[in-house]
């Protein structure tokens, strides 16, 4: 397996984990207080948009040749970091809201 293939598998696995976390967060929205529920819904929509962008970057990455993928790797990582950070922020908000109940 090439370095590109190994990296691709790693990113695909990480993206699947984030998709699972988004699904879990979506279910938590139903249990949120009414006054913050709309905010959470908007954040979930933002996460879904970032997820789509990450999937598009991964698709572009798959099309890159073995010699040009390294330069594209930074772009993939940037999208990954944005999505991951947003999920972390939303999880923190849920935790803060739940601890204030």
Evaluate whether residue 1 is within a structural domain: no
Of 4-8, 43-47, 71-75, the least confident: 71-75
Q: Is residue 8 part of a domain?
A: no
Residue numbers of the domain that contains 92: 17-99
Q: Which residues contact 37 (CB under 8 A, 6 or more apart)?
A: 29
Q: Is the pLDDT of residue 40 over 70?
A: yes
Residue 12 lies inside a defined structural domain of this protein: no
Asked whether residue 78 is assigned to any structural domain, the reply reads yes
Question: Which DSSP state fits 33?
Answer: -
Give the position of tokens 């370095």: 3
pLDDT in tens, 47-101: 999 889 888 888 888 887 777 777 778 888 888 888 889 889 888 888 887 777 6
Residue 3, in any domain of the structure: no
Radius of gyration of the chain (CA): 16
Q: Is residue 90 included in any domain, yes or no? A: yes
Q: How many domains does the chain have?
A: 1
| Cβ proximity of 64 and 8 under 8 Å | no
Three-state secondary structure call for residue 1:
coil
Q: How would residue 20 be classed by pLDDT, with cut points 50, 70 and 90?
A: very high
Question: Is residue 41 in a domain?
Answer: yes
> What pLDDT is recorded for position 101?
60
For residues 98 and 94, what is the distance between their CA atoms, to the nearest angstrom?
6
On whether the pTM is more than 0.85, the answer is no
2 occurs within a structural domain: no
């Amino acid at each position: 397996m090439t370095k590109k293939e190994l990296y691709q598998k790693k990113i695909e696995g990480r993206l699947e984990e984030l998709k699972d976390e988004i699904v879990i967060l979506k279910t938590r929205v139903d249990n949120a207080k009414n006054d913050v529920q709309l905010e959470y819904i908007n954040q979930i929509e933002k996460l879904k948009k970032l997820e789509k962008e990450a999937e598009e970057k991964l698709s572009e990455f798959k099309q890159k040749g073995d010699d040009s993928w390294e330069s594209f790797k930074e772009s993939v990582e940037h999208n990954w970091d944005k999505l991951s950070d947003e999920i972390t922020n939303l999880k923190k908000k849920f935790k803060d809201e739940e601890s204030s109940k």
